[in-house]
Structure 1
Amino acid sequence: MNNIPKIPVGKWVDGFVTYLNESFEGFFGWLSNGIEGFTDFIVYGLMAIPALLLIVIVAAIAWFVSRSWSLPLLSLAGLLFILNLGYWEQMIDTLSLVLTSVIISVIIGVPLGIIASQNDTFSKILTPILDLMQTMPAFVYLIPAILFFGIGVVPGIIASVIFAMPPTIRLTNLGIRQVPEDLVEAANAFGSTTAQKLMKVELPLATKTIMAGVNQSIMLALSMVVIASLVGAPGLGVDVYRAVTRIEVGRGFEAGISIVILAIILDRITQHLGTRKKEV
């Protein structure tokens, strides 16, 4: 076995990454500024709202999507608890990171899922790529992200997008493919174009499944919070990382439970949002 020459995969990857960095440096700089600016906009917008007022707004959104009092009360109690612990600003930073990652995942993922649902060849090509994106250790994404975008929130968001986008693509594809065939045939019988069939039949019926994909992307983006903190992304992940390095169990538990509370609130709201859209 020692006589078999090693395949220089690492060198090939290094060369490809170096080529991209040298050839598209301007594009990566523009993209970095755009993502960072959008994230800062969300942070400043949320921080401009008084904490108690924002908590009431979230509770109102929770009631609107669920039409019950359990979710608003959970949101109210959970956010008040985070505020009491003193992690409000960190929670806002984490929320902005997650929202930016999910918005990018949806903007890219839903169209790719739609294309995959309409083209079997594209779907077969895309599936192993999605498998690679989901199974590759998340730390590996940080290496080229740091090289392209430097230290800060942007490489954390890019790594989160790569890790969190596959469920949105997969479930968009699945949701459209699961639309009953008789409804599609009825649309064809009425002379609907592909765009009309997609917008008026397939996407509305696939909304619940697509929202399930968005929900999964949110959870995966939240799971990247601590990893993103390793490259300079602010938020609750920083406190968890510091607690680990300093063996501060109490601080780590406080930051960790704050992430859990935020995850539960976002999870429940998006679940009810998907159900409500289907009912409407």
Structure 2
Amino acid sequence: MNYFHFPLEEWTNRFVNDWLLPNMSGFFDKISSLLSALVDGVTYLLTVVPAEIIVLILLFLSWKFAGKGMALFTLIGTIFIGSVDLWVEAMQTFSIVIVSTFISIIIGVPVGILTALNRTMDSIVRPILDFMQTLPSFVYLIPAILLFGLGNVPAVIATFIFAAPPAVRMTALGIRQVPNDVIEASKAFGTTSKQLLFKVQVPLAMPTIMAGVNQSIMLALSMAVVASMIGAPGLGTTVLTGISTVNVGLGLTGGLAIVVLAILLDRITQKLGQK
């Protein structure tokens, strides 16, 4: 089947080593410094604040948006994380998820709005999203390590690439699903394009947009173990250590802590979108 030779590997390595790194290293260093400061700041805030205060905040959010049953689960889950001495690791993972999801939202939601309103933009963005969602997650780690080294920053970049597509797709879907009669009625009352978007379409699409945010959070958490392979601290490192040392108990403990965070964030964001 080898009818001709396609030197993609050679071209890629030559592009990266001969042009990208020599010419763009300063740009990537600035991004790395910014993201590192952001992740370190969020991690410091979550770890310096007493755990009891964070638990009370999570309890309030769970009770407010998801009900008493979820508040009880939050109490039991956070007590479990603290009892197995994984609170700091949980907050490290939480900080990566927060930063990655924040970047996914501030980039994904505007791009989703543009794709919903512009067919040309949609035809450009859709294959990119398909590529991002079908490319194996481990492949993201190679350019992340090459351009940003090891640690939190490449983990955030890889997690963002993996988690951003749902935010874009669900935002575009929500905008498209706004009923035409509502749009026509709004135009009949003299609304401008800006008012139509921000006072009619986005509010009506908010449940769908929040569903996309929810999926982005879940995908970001699912990258926790994978990100630990490139030096990201947190619960993923605990699970990875359990795998590498064949320590079933350690792996189970870290895995259950990830499950607690996943259920907690999932239920709160789901109910927040419905509200």
TM-score of the two chains, using structure 2 as the length reference: 0.97
- What residue is the counterpart of 1:85 in the other structure? 84
Q: Distance in 2 between matches of 1:14 and 1:171?
A: 35
Equivalent residues of 1:164, 1:218 under 8 A apart: yes
Aligned position for 1:57: 57
Name 2:100's counterpart in structure 1: 101
Stretch moving more, 24-33 or 262-271? 24-33
**Structure 2 unaligned spans of 5+:** none
Q: Which amino acid is 1:56 matched to?
A: L
Q: Which residue of 2 aligns with 1:117?
A: 116
Percent identity reads 49
Report the residue type matching 2:42 in the other structure: I
CA deviation profile, 1:53-100 (whole Å, cap 9, x unmatched): 21111101112223x211111111111111111100000000001001
The residue aligned with 1:234 is 233
Q: What's the CA shift for 1:21? A: 2.3
Deviation of 1:47 (Å): 1.2
| Whole-angstrom CA distance in 2 between matches of 1:13 and 1:202 | 42
> What do residues 120-152 of structure 1 show as CA deviations (whole Å, max 9, x unaligned)?
121122111111101101111111111111111
Aligned partner letter, 1:216: Q
What is the CA-CA distance between 1:46 and the residue it aligns to? Answer: 1.1
Q: In the alignment, which residue of structure 2 is the partner of 1:12?
A: 11
1:126-205 correspondence to structure 2 within 5 Å: 126-205=125-204
Q: Distance in 2 between matches of 1:148 and 1:166?
A: 22
Aligned residue identity for 2:37:
G
SS of equivalent residue, structure 2 residue 4: coil
TM-score (normalizing by structure 1): 0.95
Q: Which amino acid aligns with 1:269?
A: I
**Is 1:44 the equivalent of 2:29?**
no
- TM-superposed CA distance for 1:187, in Å, is 1.5
Q: For the residues of structure 2 that align with 1:95 and 1:245, how far apart are their CA atoms?
A: 23
Cα distance between partner residues in 2 of 1:240 and 1:160: 17
In structure 1, how many angstroms separate the alpha carbons of the residues matched to 2:241 and 2:178?
48
AA at the equivalent of 2:28: F
Counterpart of 2:135 in structure 1: which amino acid?
A: M
Residues 17 and 144, structure 1, Cα contact 8 Å, conserved in 2: no
Distance in structure 2 (CA, Å) of the matches to 1:137 and 1:16: 22
Letter in 2 for 1:24: M
- Residue identity opposite 1:265 in structure 2: L
1:160, 1:221 within 8 Å by CA — same for their partners in 2?
Answer: yes
Establish whether residue 21 from structure 1 lines up as the match of residue 21 from structure 2. yes
Q: What value does the CA root-mean-square deviation take over the aligned residues?
A: 1.1
Q: SS of the residue aligned with 2:182?
A: helix
Task: Note the alpha carbon deviations across 1:223-242, whole angstroms, 9 max, x for none.
Answer: 11011111110000001111
Report the equivalent of 1:71: 70
In 2, the alpha carbon distance for the partners of 1:108 and 1:10 equals: 30
> Structure 2: how far apart are the matches of 1:145 and 1:191?
48
Whole-angstrom CA distance in 1 between matches of 2:15 and 2:220: 27
The CA deviation at 1:113 is: 0.2
What's the offset of the Cα at 1:172? 0.2
**Alpha-carbon offset, residue 15 of structure 1:** 3.3
Distance in 1 (alpha carbons) for counterparts of 2:7 and 2:186: 53
2:265 matched to which residue of 1?
A: 266
Structure 1 stretch 23-32 or stretch 174-183: which is displaced more?
A: 23-32
